[in-house]
């Protein structure tokens, strides 16, 4: 039994869901999202809740059960309010700034990095060493934050690089003479 899949998805106030076949559309004050589920699960909307049940006992049906429920919960949350990832930039001379729809990163490379922000996500730099990635699609927000972080991952000796806010980097001890 999927512990996640068993739980119904409660729709927040102002969010509505409509089902046609295996396609569900969730409308909210901030965004409208659609998702097409596989034929391995059954989706039912009643009393302001979305319930997902598997259509059989196959491994694939059980996998899709929990995954579909989680995707629908993220869509319902994203239609009402946005998801946020915060990044910190550590290192001498490392900084970031927004210029239109382009994020300019100075990360100690021989060139500046120009990162084009995809549609559906907003990136802001409240300070030159902080970035905030926001959007209504949880997967897209996480992917954009991971792509930005990949330009200069935190290294374990000095801790320089781009890290998630609150992320712990295990510090290694350097060579001894």
Residue 55 lies in a domain: yes
The domain boundary, picked from 26, 50, 80, lies at: 80
Taking CA 162 as the corner, what is the angle to CA 74 and CA 155, rounded to the nearest 5 degrees? Answer: 125
Domain containing residue 65: CATH number? 3.90.930.12
pLDDT at position 48 is 87
Of 80, 103, 123, the last residue of a domain is 80
Whether residues 95 and 154 share a domain: the answer is yes
Last residue of some domain: 80, 95, 126?
A: 80
Residues 76 and 87 grouped into a single domain:
no
Query: Is the CA virtual torsion 99, 103, 105, 109 positive or negative?
Result: negative
Q: Could you tell me if 67 and 113 lie in one domain?
A: no
Whether residues 60 and 110 fall in one domain: no
Same domain (yes/no): 55, 89: no
The dihedral sign for the CA sequence 151, 155, 159, 160: negative
Instruction: Identify whether residues 139 and 118 lie together within a single domain.
Output: yes
Q: What is the pTM of this model?
A: 0.86
Residue range of the domain that includes 76? 9-80
Are residues 79 and 13 in contact, defined by beta-carbon separation less than 8 angstroms? no
Residue 116 belongs to some domain of the structure: yes
Same domain as 70, residue 16: yes
Ordered alpha helix ranges (H), 30-151: 59-80, 138-149
Residues 49 and 66 in one domain: yes
Per-residue pLDDT of the chain (177 residues), as tens digits, is: 668 888 999 998 889 999 999 999 999 998 899 999 999 999 999 888 999 999 999 999 999 999 999 999 999 999 999 999 999 999 899 999 999 999 999 998 899 999 999 999 999 999 999 999 999 999 999 999 999 999 999 999 988 999 999 989 899 988 888
């Amino acid at each position: 039994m999927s512990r996640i899949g068993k739980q119904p998805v409660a729709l927040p106030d102002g969010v509505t869901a409509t089902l046609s076949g295996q396609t569900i559309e969730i409308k909210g004050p901030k965004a409208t999202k659609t998702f097409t589920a596989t034929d391995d699960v059954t989706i039912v909307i009643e009393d302001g809740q979305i319930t997902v049940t598997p259509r059989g006992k196959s491994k694939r049906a059980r996998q899709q059960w929990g995954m579909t429920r989680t995707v629908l919960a993220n869509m319902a949350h994203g239609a009402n309010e946005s998801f946020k990832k915060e990044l910190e930039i550590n290192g001498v001379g490392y900084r970031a700034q927004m210029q239109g729809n382009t994020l300019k990163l100075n990360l100690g490379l021989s060139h500046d990095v120009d990162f084009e922000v995809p549609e559906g996500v907003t990136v802001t730099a409240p300070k030159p060493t902080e970035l905030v990635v926001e959007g209504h699609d949880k997967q897209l927000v996480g992917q954009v934050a991971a792509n930005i972080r990949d330009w200069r991952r935190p290294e374990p000796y000095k801790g320089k690089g781009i890290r998630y806010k609150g992320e712990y980097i295990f510090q290694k001890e350097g060579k001894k003479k």
